[in-house]
Structure 1
Amino acid sequence: MSVTIEESSRALPVADPPTVRRHLLTLARTRKRMLFATIAWFFGATACGLAVPALLGYLVEDVARGSTAPRVDLVVAAVAVFLLVQGLLTRMARLAAARLGEHTLADLREEFVDRVLAVPIATVETAGTGDLLSRSSRDVNMLSRAIRMGVPSIATAVLTVVLTAVALVVVSPLLALASLIAVPLLGLSTRWYLRRARPAYLNEGASYSDLTDGLSETVHGARTVDALSLQQRRVRRTDTDIARSYRAERGTLRLRTVWFPMVDVGYILPVVGTLLVGGIAYANDWVGLGEVTAAVLYTRALVDPLDELLSWLDELQVGGAALSRILGVGQVSEAPSSETATPNGSRVRVDGVRFSYRSDREVLRGIDLDVAPGERIAIVGASGAGKSTLGRIVAGVHPATAGRVTVGDVDLAAIAPHHRRNVVALVTQEHHVFAGSIADNVALADPNASPERVAAALAAVDAADWVEALPDGVSTVVGSGGLSLSPARSQQVALARLALSDPQILVLDEATSMIDASVARHLERSLATVMRGRTVLAIAHRLHTASDADRVAVMADGEIVELGTHDELLAADGTYASLWRSWHGTAADAADGDGE
């Protein structure tokens, strides 16, 4: 039976088994003391449990020889004591395992958040949000179950199996050999299952990613779906994703329906073999009745821990696949640059830059642009001209397919990612407010910022008045579960973060295009203080932004076709002049309509 992995070509990568094993060993070394303490508690509990079959075998042998009642009572009392101590040690062991599991899970969650935040934005956009959401929700939950419950269960099962097997050999090597009858069946069937389980569960996880991605797109684009009557198309997409998920679930179920029955048969064979061989051996006086009794009890005692161990082996395939997907996120993190050079100033040069999202179509075709320190350039053009792509390349979101971008005479690609974000900041029309206070939202740019710096950043974007008027001022909780801010105010909070981070270069990608025109104009005026002294590339949607710039770059079909000041381009009566007349007429019509 083969399993075909239907991993989406655009999905985030998956860590290979050696990487997963190395990571688990690293986690074990980190919590070495807790791990050893947990194993010690389980060892003590298991040892107490193993004393009971030996005592019962001794009791049977003693009764068969006509032992007196006081000795029987003594054995029964000893059994009770061992069971009581086993219960107490098991409780301590499970508490220790729970602590170990929670600490390990906390480490994994923190590492996962670090990995997610290090993923380049371009990679997230290419992979889609569904894959990342699936890994951060379903995969983390699957891994959580494996760590919290699997560690104590597996530790108990492994120790019980090992110590029980040792006790069985001590009681009677001959009867111990009889219990090995199931080893070939259990070994071969488990090997068959493990070779197929990992790819099957990875396939299942990938199918959930596609399903989540499709549902997320439908929900977020509900208005567009309704406006363009795309309901049936979205239903077909969902049906396709559900069908793939169904096939993936059936694939893992098929593996379990083959493996589990073979394992169940493997549990029965050792007990039957021990009874059969034990009966023959007892009849020939090779072993005593007490040895047969203890051996059968030990063999029977192997069933439950083996069953739990093999059941958790299945759960571990789920957890292992989840961990592979979680660790895979880190494999697309931006690698730290080996360069130590710091940009000398804020001059931006774009030399022969080309870029393609797909190999068959270039979005940018040989862009050359030189932006002086402190200069503000507006980039305008029709939709699809490549304006936003150029802005994202200058901001370091996308690497250029050809050509290069330099900042302060240093290649942008050579600047370490964490330092690059302090040099060049990208501000888009998406203005997200995180759950927390306004002060917390602004301080995301610099967690060590003082209240005075946060207040100054809000004042710089003309937000101080309305923030102070809120019930709790800058301590007012906003975002999910808190006060809902208007788009304009949300963007002001985002721009306050920008003022606090104090980058040398700003790339404004239509930062105010989603806001009402009158409010946007007011916001852009307040931005003048933030932009003063910085190099600015502004992707202009409203052309009044271009009229305020030092120079205007006009793009068409992935190329810069005009470059000059606002007045120079109007005088040239070319593409920009045509755009200006068209926009100015539309804006005037809109103003007349509002007046009516």
Structure 2
Amino acid sequence: MTALTTGLPVADSRAVRRYAVQIARRHPRLLWGGLVLNVLAALAGLAAPRLIGDLVEAVQQGTTVDHVDTIAVALAGFLVLQTVLTRYARYAGQVLGEQVLAELREDFVGNALALPVSTVETAGAGDLLTRTSRDVDQLGWSVRFALPEWTIAVVTAVLTFGAALTVGWWVALPCLLGVPPLVIGLRWYLARAKDGYLRESATYSQINATLTETVEGARTIEALDLADERIRQIDDDIAKSFAAERYTLFLRTVFFPNMEIAYLIPTVLTLLFGGWLYTEGHVSLGDVTAATLYVQMLIDPVDRVVSILDELQVGAASLARLLGVAQVPDDREVSGAEPEDEHLRASDVRFAYVEGRDVLRGVDLDLRVGERLAMVGPSGAGKSTLGRLLAGIHPPRTGSVTLGDVPLVELPLDDLRGHVALVTQEHHVFVGTLRENLALAAPPGAGDDEIRGALDAVDALEWVDALPEGLDTVVGSGGRAVTAAQAQQVALARLVLADPHTLVLDEATSLIDPRAARHLERSLAAVLEGRTVVAIAHRLFSAHDADRVAVVEDGVISELGSHDELVATGGSYAALWDSWHGRT
């Protein structure tokens, strides 16, 4: 079987077991309470074979109707008791399952939010999306239902076997003869199941990644006539998923029939061996009856143990994938040092997305506090990459990016975002009211006046006030649709509320009409007075208004100076400016 790798790591078996032990230690009362109830329920169920065996023996020797009635009432009583105890045992198990699942989700969300942005981008959305949806759902089923049922089955199987031995030592022999095929089948299955289910989940991640990429790039695909190629890619992903599903199905079709044979052996041998002992006068007919019933009872819990084990394998694979998110190494080495000022500097910065192919090559940039710098240049020159390094999204391969002489990669993310923030043309409107969307970035205690002030600063207050419910209007998926330009204004309003000292704007107004964008940038400039701003843009009016302009070409800063200085120099920027104004 060929392993299929995913972008994010998968926890090993030891880490899964360690996490399971930690969870168990957090809920000792529910865990032990449920276990005691399961034991009592199993013990109540074990009374029936013994009572029926005694009844058979009593009938053989001659008995009364009153004696039969007494045994029948006792059977009914134990049945009712077992039902009540089982009901509360399952209830306790499911309560524990819900609490454990809630903690697992909280841990996963915390770990996912702590992922370095560079790791998320490298792994792709498909893998993380599959873990967030399919793996959480599968684990939910295992924790809520499979694990409690499996626990009940294990307890019942152990106690039933113990009860069978009370009839006589000879009952162990037929039971033990059924163990070898059971152990062989389990060892064969368990050696292959985890890898099989991990591969199956990985193929779903790949399908999601391909579908997400196809949907997001639909216009590009249509423009370049790549539809057939994308269909072939999706077909290939589905074929790999089909092969992975077929492999796990093969494991089940071999494993379960083998288990059925292993179940039949003890029952048949108990009847044969017990019958021979009865004819030889070593045991009574009641003993043979009770032993046969106990061994027959043993089949159901053992079958459930084995059957649910398959569900637990799926759950364990999902848990390993969820815990793997926490094993992503941090791309920051927090030192605890505090920046002395807001002076942002890049020194001899080199960066590569692919080893051996630098996108930035020896970039030096010294930003004055409160300066507005515009970065311009051809597409693919490295402007956005440099902007992301200046915002601390990526660490440089070599060189350093410092804030007040402290490397950005040594600042905790929460502290970093208070100093430097990045806004791109990629943004998200969350499901909820506009007020809730904006309050995400607002300082604690911020009210409607601050929120409205931020909207006014980005020229969004007019359309927000025109909405039927104003700030209480529900937006996002399933709510009121906002245009791309309006969503970009919401993102910029969040930036105003977050109030970082240094802002990196990567074409942050590209989706807004050029004339409106010009007005918006001037409004923002007034609000952001005194803050350092790095604006990456294709619209050169942003460069005209900036204190300095950096021209990025082929991964280096080829020109740096004010607009007037660069125009007078007659270099690349002057050519861009002439082209912008229609002069050749």
Please state whether the residue corresponding to 2:335 is helix, strand or coil. Answer: coil
Q: Give the Cα–Cα distance (whole angstroms) in 2 for the partners of residues 147 and 584 of structure 1.
A: 65
- In the other structure, the counterpart of 2:335 is 339
- In the other structure, the counterpart of 2:418 is 422
Please state whether the residue corresponding to 1:351 is helix, strand or coil. Answer: strand
Q: Give the Cα–Cα distance (whole angstroms) in 2 for the partners of residues 335 and 402 of structure 1.
A: 14
Q: Given the alignment of the two structures, is residue 4 of structure 1 paired with residue 2 of structure 2, yes or no?
A: yes
1:367-378 to structure 2, matched below 5 A, reads: 367-378=363-374
How far 1:417 moved relative to its partner? 2.0
1:278-427 to structure 2, matched below 5 A, reads: 278-332=274-328, 334=330, 337-427=333-423
How far 1:336 moved relative to its partner? 6.8
Q: Give the Cα–Cα distance (whole angstroms) in 1 for the partners of residues 549 and 159 of structure 2.
A: 79
How far 1:534 moved relative to its partner? 1.3
Q: Given the alignment of the two structures, is residue 500 of structure 1 paired with residue 497 of structure 2, yes or no?
A: yes
Residue type matched to 1:230 in 2?
A: L
- In the other structure, the counterpart of 2:60 is 64
- In the other structure, the counterpart of 2:127 is 131
- In the other structure, the counterpart of 1:591 is none
Residue type matched to 2:5 in 1?
A: E
Q: Give the Cα–Cα distance (whole angstroms) in 2 for the partners of residues 294 and 446 of structure 1.
A: 72
Structure 2 CA distance for partners of 1:135 and 1:571, relative to 1, 3 Å:
same
How far 1:512 moved relative to its partner? 0.9
Q: Which moved more, 1:532-541 or 1:402-411?
A: 532-541
Residue type matched to 1:502 in 2?
A: D
Structure 2 CA distance for partners of 1:530 and 1:289, relative to 1, 3 Å:
farther
How far 1:338 moved relative to its partner? 4.2
Q: Is the 8 A contact 1:376 1:550 kept in 2?
A: yes
Q: Give the Cα–Cα distance (whole angstroms) in 2 for the partners of residues 336 and 34 of structure 1.
A: 39
Q: Is the 8 A contact 1:346 1:534 kept in 2?
A: no
- In the other structure, the counterpart of 1:516 is 513
Residue type matched to 2:243 in 1?
A: R
Please state whether the residue corresponding to 2:339 is helix, strand or coil. Answer: coil
Q: Given the alignment of the two structures, is residue 445 of structure 1 paired with residue 444 of structure 2, yes or no?
A: no
1:445-594 to structure 2, matched below 5 A, reads: 445-446=441-442, 448-451=444-447, 452-585=449-582
Q: Is the 8 A contact 1:405 1:412 kept in 2?
A: yes
Residue type matched to 2:64 in 1?
A: T
Q: Is the 8 A contact 1:94 1:152 kept in 2?
A: yes
Deviations 1:349-383 (A, max 9, x none): 10111011112311000000000111111111100
Question: TM-score scaled to structure 2, two decimals?
Answer: 0.97
Q: Give the Cα–Cα distance (whole angstroms) in 1 for the partners of residues 264 and 527 of structure 2.
A: 77
Please state whether the residue corresponding to 2:430 is helix, strand or coil. Answer: coil
Q: Which moved more, 1:469-478 or 1:386-395?
A: 469-478
How far 1:100 moved relative to its partner? 1.3
- In the other structure, the counterpart of 1:592 is none
> What 5-or-longer segments of structure 2 have no aligned partner?
none
Q: Is the 8 A contact 1:372 1:535 kept in 2?
A: yes
Q: Give the Cα–Cα distance (whole angstroms) in 2 for the partners of residues 575 and 6 of structure 1.
A: 47
How far 1:209 moved relative to its partner? 0.7
- In the other structure, the counterpart of 2:117 is 121
Q: Given the alignment of the two structures, is residue 434 of structure 1 paired with residue 427 of structure 2, yes or no?
A: no
Question: TM-score scaled to structure 1, two decimals?
Answer: 0.95
Residue type matched to 1:350 in 2?
A: A
Please state whether the residue corresponding to 1:362 is helix, strand or coil. Answer: strand
Please state whether the residue corresponding to 2:283 is helix, strand or coil. Answer: coil
Q: Which among 208, 213, 218 is matched to residue 212 of structure 1? A: 208
Equivalent pairs counted in the alignment come to: 583
How far 1:447 moved relative to its partner? 6.8
Q: Is the 8 A contact 2:443 2:498 kept in 1?
A: no
How far 1:155 moved relative to its partner? 1.4
Q: Give the Cα–Cα distance (whole angstroms) in 1 for the partners of residues 579 and 25 of structure 2.
A: 67
How far 1:106 moved relative to its partner? 1.3
Residue type matched to 2:403 in 1?
A: V
Q: Which moved more, 1:31-40 or 1:505-514?
A: 31-40
Q: Given the alignment of the two structures, is residue 173 of structure 1 paired with residue 142 of structure 2, yes or no?
A: no
Residue type matched to 1:7 in 2?
A: T
Residue type matched to 1:504 in 2?
A: H
How far 1:282 moved relative to its partner? 1.4
- In the other structure, the counterpart of 1:54 is 50
Residue type matched to 2:196 in 1?
A: A
How far 1:448 moved relative to its partner? 2.8
Q: Give the Cα–Cα distance (whole angstroms) in 2 for the partners of residues 15 and 445 of structure 1.
A: 33
Please state whether the residue corresponding to 1:404 is helix, strand or coil. Answer: strand
Q: Give the Cα–Cα distance (whole angstroms) in 1 for the partners of residues 581 and 420 of structure 2.
A: 32
Q: Give the Cα–Cα distance (whole angstroms) in 1 for the partners of residues 36 and 452 of structure 2.
A: 55
Q: Is the 8 A contact 1:461 1:530 kept in 2?
A: no
**Percent identical across equivalent pairs?**
54
1:141-180 to structure 2, matched below 5 A, reads: 141-180=137-176
- In the other structure, the counterpart of 1:195 is 191
Structure 2 CA distance for partners of 1:378 and 1:335, relative to 1, 3 Å:
closer
> What 5-or-longer segments of structure 1 have no aligned partner?
589-596
How far 1:462 moved relative to its partner? 3.1
Please state whether the residue corresponding to 1:560 is helix, strand or coil. Answer: strand
Residue type matched to 1:505 in 2?
A: T
Q: For the aligned residues, what is the CA RMSD? A: 1.6
How far 1:337 moved relative to its partner? 4.4
Q: Give the Cα–Cα distance (whole angstroms) in 1 for the partners of residues 399 and 172 of structure 2.
A: 72
Structure 2 CA distance for partners of 1:479 and 1:223, relative to 1, 3 Å:
same
